[in-house]
Amino acid sequence: MALLQIAEPGDKPAKPAHRLAVGIDLGTTNSLVAAPCAGKVEILPDADGGYLLPSIVHYGAEGEVTVGADARKSSLTDPGNTVVSVKRLLGRGVAELRDSPQYRHYEFAADRDDHSPAIVTRAGSKDPVEVSAEILKSLAKRAEHNLNGALEGAVITVPAYFNDAQRQQTKDAAKLAGLNVLRLLNEPTAAAVAYGLDSQDQGNIIVFDLGGGTFDVSLLSLQKGVFEVLSTGGDTHLGGDDFDQLLADWISEQAGLSITEVATQRAQLNQLATQLKHQLSELESVEVEFAGWQGELTRAEFADLCKPLVARTITTCRRVLRDGDLKVEDVDNIVMVGGSTRMPVVRDAVANFFGKPPLTNIDPDKVVAIGAGIQADVLIGNKPADSFLLLDVNPLSLGLETMGELVEKIIPRNTTIPVARAQEFTTFKDGQTAMSLHVVQGERELVSDCRSLARFELRGIPPMVAGAAKIRVTFQVDADGLLSAMAEELSTGVRSEIQVKPSYGLNSQQIEEMLQASQEHAREDMEIRALKEAQVEAAQLVDAIQAARAADGDLLTAEEGQQIDTAVAALAKAVQEADSKQLHEQTEALNRLSGEFAARRMDLHISKALRGESINKVESTPE
Ligand code: ADP
Ligand code: MG
């Protein structure tokens, strides 16, 4: 696969003045900001010297907006006006969130123009973009305070599996916060960059990210300083919180608490569990005291409790390797990200599975932001532009609906981005002057089994016979994973385009489900596709011959006409009945019968409608 170079915005001779750019890890639980200080990228602290900004926003009674630790306090006292884990809401629809118990305490506004779930607060309804913008503003302020100047750009990290909608909304949030986004960067890639792995000639890297509530594994391949995401996997509901839960359950069992006692003391139990869990990352054993009960918990006992959860993370690693077509031995480095990778039981399991110790010497909380900061420094022009190129892939195929409700894939899944691909399509009916284009995402053959991303129309096609018009459709995915689709009628140059900003998002689990479904249904899909194609072809043949009969019927003898009409009727019936055997036989019969007629009508042009043929791969011209 040809690798396309990303034009670096800072691609000019090193400027004497140092320009201020930051890297931002916009996390589900915590966010951080990093920038080069005295030649080394460092995390910028807040006024108290802390570096994690809890990703929590509170809309106060006086109209004030607070972000971070102060907002966290309000999540207990004023939950309805405090937004936590807003990252989980990006790119999602209201309906799915209303049904989710996690978001029960929020009131969602009725659908706004773009279906994004706005949370009703006392400050009005706030959508995830607006809430995220508050977090970004707070980080920008912290950075400007530390760096003593105005920011010129930022690199913001996103999970590798984020789709178009989620990436676009992250960018929108940055714009709203007044930031100039140099680029969105995949979190695992940022982590690999923080460890300087990009300076190696080649290698395969696993990034293992176990945070508070989510787990992500990415497999990256590095070739001559170019990163490619080979595969990703994870669990959107597995993280440190689950280990806390296990430990809290263990304590309540040991202390013999009743169900009501557990319910009333839930907060204290959880707090103690978290504290003990953290201690067991340093100590071999801890003293436990709760509700009058006293005991001891060793690291080994805790590891035993954790086994089932840890096993799940390893199963995911195995699957990610399989998806990327690599074996355990092919992995050169394992990068640990997220607070929960401090747990020895997790580190041991990972070392065991991969047969080598993971990289852990950079603080797992900071590693993503540091990588983003390094990249920001390059992109703003403080470093030679050829320091490194970063490339990603699109996680699901992007295609267009064709006749018969079939999907024609234009950019297959796992294609390195940025990329542009063009394909030619044609009209289905004689005299057709407009075309409706439907952009879909997914691996299945039928439109109804894929996700609809956008629809747009091309008008002003000059009337021609079916199949004569040439419409070139170009899909371009930029370095941030955003799709623009363009259709152009080649003889007149009329064109129409659309930027895809889907109103509905997908999470990594849904992506995985879509991939699984496509594998499970591969055979059945192929058969349906063949049948639908035969139906479209036959229907077109019926149409064309009927039109020809009407126009040039006098070219045929009465007997010939009779025979053709009978064959047309038989074929039309086969289309109706979707009878694949009959479709083939009757199409063949009609083609044979009408061959002579066609020859007599030299201008009759029967062509396969809307069957595109791959043309050139278009060189991409990213921003
Ligand atoms: P997120 O990616 O969800 O924002 P983080 O990467 O900040 O989350 O990780 C937070 C999780 O890491 C919490 O569950 C926390 O308890 C856990 N954690 C932090 N430090 C330690 C430690 N020393 N030992 C074990 N777990 C830890
Ligand atoms: Mg994280």
Q: How confident is the model at residue 597 (pLDDT cuts 50, 70, 90)?
A: confident
**Active-site residue 11, yes or no?**
no
**Active-site residue 289, yes or no?**
no
Which ligand neighbours the alpha carbon of 212 most closely? 1
Distance from C-alpha of 561 to C-alpha of 530, rounded to nearest angstrom: 30
Please tell me if the CB atom of residue 278 comes closer than 6 angstroms to any atom of ligand 1: yes
Residue range 21-239+307-392 in CATH 3.40.50.2000: no
User: Which atom number of ligand 1 is nearest to the Cα of residue 274?
Assistant: 16
Distance from C-alpha of 620 to C-alpha of 458, rounded to nearest angstrom: 23
Pick the catalytic residue from 8, 46, 87, 409.
87
Q: Tell me, what's the pLDDT at 276?
A: 97
Ligand 2 centroid–CA 425 distance in Å is 44
Q: Whose CA is nearest to atom 11 of ligand 1?
A: 212
Please tell me if the CB atom of residue 55 comes closer than 6 angstroms to any atom of ligand 1: no
Q: How confident is the model at residue 456 (pLDDT cuts 50, 70, 90)?
A: confident
Mean pLDDT over all residues of the chain?
84
Please tell me if the CB atom of residue 507 comes closer than 6 angstroms to any atom of ligand 1: no
pLDDT, mean of residues 537-550? 83
Task: Please name the residues in contact with 146: beta carbons below 8 A apart, sequence gap of 6 or more.
Answer: 35, 44, 45
Residues of the chain with CATH 2.60.34.10: 394-505
Cβ atoms of 454 and 114 within 8 Å: the answer is no
Please tell me if the CB atom of residue 342 comes closer than 6 angstroms to any atom of ligand 1: yes
Q: Whose CA is nearest to atom 7 of ligand 1?
A: 339
pTM of the model: 0.66
Distance from C-alpha of 336 to C-alpha of 239, rounded to nearest angstrom: 14
Selected residue with higher pLDDT from 6 and 150: 150
Q: Whose CA is nearest to atom 12 of ligand 1?
A: 339
Residue 65, amino acid: V
Q: Alpha carbon of 221 to those of 319, 332, 355, 391: distances in Å?
A: 16, 10, 19, 10
| CATH superfamily assigned to domain 394-505 | Substrate Binding Domain Of DNAk; Chain A, domain 1 (2.60.34.10)
Residues of the chain with CATH 3.30.420.40: 21-239+307-392
Distance from C-alpha of 22 to C-alpha of 376, rounded to nearest angstrom: 6
Please tell me if the CB atom of residue 343 comes closer than 6 angstroms to any atom of ligand 1: yes
Least confident window among 20-24, 346-350, 510-514: 510-514
Q: Whose CA is nearest to atom 22 of ligand 1?
A: 278
Task: For domain 522-610, give the CATH number.
Answer: 1.20.1270.10
* DSSP states of 19-84: P-EEEEE--SSEEEEEEEETTEEEEPP-TTS---EESEEEE-TTS-EEESHHHHHHHHH-GGGEEE
Q: Is the pLDDT of residue 504 over 50?
A: no
Q: Per residue in 53-69, pLDDT tens?
A: 999 999 999 999 999 99
Ligand 2 centroid–CA 211 distance in Å is 5
Please tell me if the CB atom of residue 240 comes closer than 6 angstroms to any atom of ligand 1: yes
Phi and psi torsions of 535, nearest 5°:
-65, -45
Ligand 1 centroid–CA 174 distance in Å is 25
Residues of the chain with CATH 1.20.1270.10: 522-610
pLDDT-above-70 percentage for the chain? 86
3-state secondary structure of 481: coil
Q: Alpha carbon of 360 to those of 304, 341, 342: distances in Å?
A: 23, 9, 8
**Active-site residue 573, yes or no?**
no
Pick the catalytic residue from 209, 365, 478, 537.
209
**3-state SS track over 130-149:** HHHHHHHHHHHHHHHHHHCC
Q: Alpha carbon of 98 to those of 107, 119, 122, 123, 453: distances in Å?
A: 9, 11, 19, 21, 22
Q: Tell me, what's the pLDDT at 533?
A: 81
pLDDT, mean of residues 471-480? 84
Ligand 2 centroid–CA 49 distance in Å is 20
Cβ atoms of 463 and 432 within 8 Å: the answer is yes
Most distant CA pair in the chain: distance in Å?
104
Q: Is the pLDDT of residue 610 over 60?
A: no
**Active-site residue 25, yes or no?**
yes
Which tokens in the block code for residue 138?
């707070």
Please tell me if the CB atom of residue 338 comes closer than 6 angstroms to any atom of ligand 1: yes
Closest by alpha carbon to 379, among 152, 136, 202?
A: 152
Q: Tell me, what's the pLDDT at 17?
A: 65
Q: Tell me, what's the pLDDT at 18?
A: 78
Q: For residues 78-89, b (16+ Cβ closer than 10 Å) or e, as one string?
A: beebbbbbbbbb
Pick the catalytic residue from 8, 134, 187, 235.
187
Please tell me if the CB atom of residue 25 comes closer than 6 angstroms to any atom of ligand 1: no
User: Which atom number of ligand 1 is nearest to the Cα of residue 364?
Assistant: 6
Q: Is the pLDDT of residue 612 over 50?
A: no
Least confident window among 124-133, 135-144, 463-472: 463-472
Which tokens in the block code for residue 358?
């993971």
CB-count exposure of residue 599 (10 Å: 0-12, 13-18, 19+): exposed
Q: What is the DSSP letter of 202?
A: E
